[in-house]
Amino acid sequence: MAHIVGAERLWMARLRRRQEPLPVWPELDVAACGQHLEELSRMWPEYLDEAPDATERIPYTNSKGETWTSTVEEILTHLVIHSAYHRGQIASDVRASGGVPAYTDYIHAVRQRLIE
């Protein structure tokens, strides 16, 4: 979960053309992950309310030191897919350990008004 948090914070910083002090693979406990996720849940609507141009090209340097440029649309699409991929890994690990993973079906949550 800490990697999901670190990656989202990193991409938010890149989109805002700022430096992110949190590494992409941070060592965070569950409580710290929760705090960062709460902060991100405020940051994303603020960013999206600014109506970013989906075709705007964002230059950045990846964790390997390579310089790239991606559009806002490409970055946002990557974030959705990236976090879903890792949430699936977490669910698989929980299930393999005999647990019941969190229910993460988005459309169900919308229908049940669990999220806005």
Q: Give mean pLDDT, residues 81-86.
A: 91
- pLDDT > 90 fraction of the chain, expressed in percent and rounded: 75
Query: Domains in the chain, please, with CATH?
Result: 2-111 (1.20.120.450)
For the stretch 51-62, pLDDT in tens is 889 999 999 999
- Mean pLDDT, the chain, whole residue set: 93
| Measured CA distances, 27 to 11, 17, 51, 80, 115 (Å) | 18, 24, 33, 22, 28
Is pTM beyond 0.85 here? no
* Helix spans in 1-116 (H): 2-15, 30-49, 72-96, 106-111
Under the banding of pLDDT at 50, 70 and 90, the label for residue 7 is: very high
For the stretch 20-55, pLDDT in tens is 888 889 999 999 999 999 999 999 999 999 988 999
Whether residue 116 has pLDDT greater than 80: no
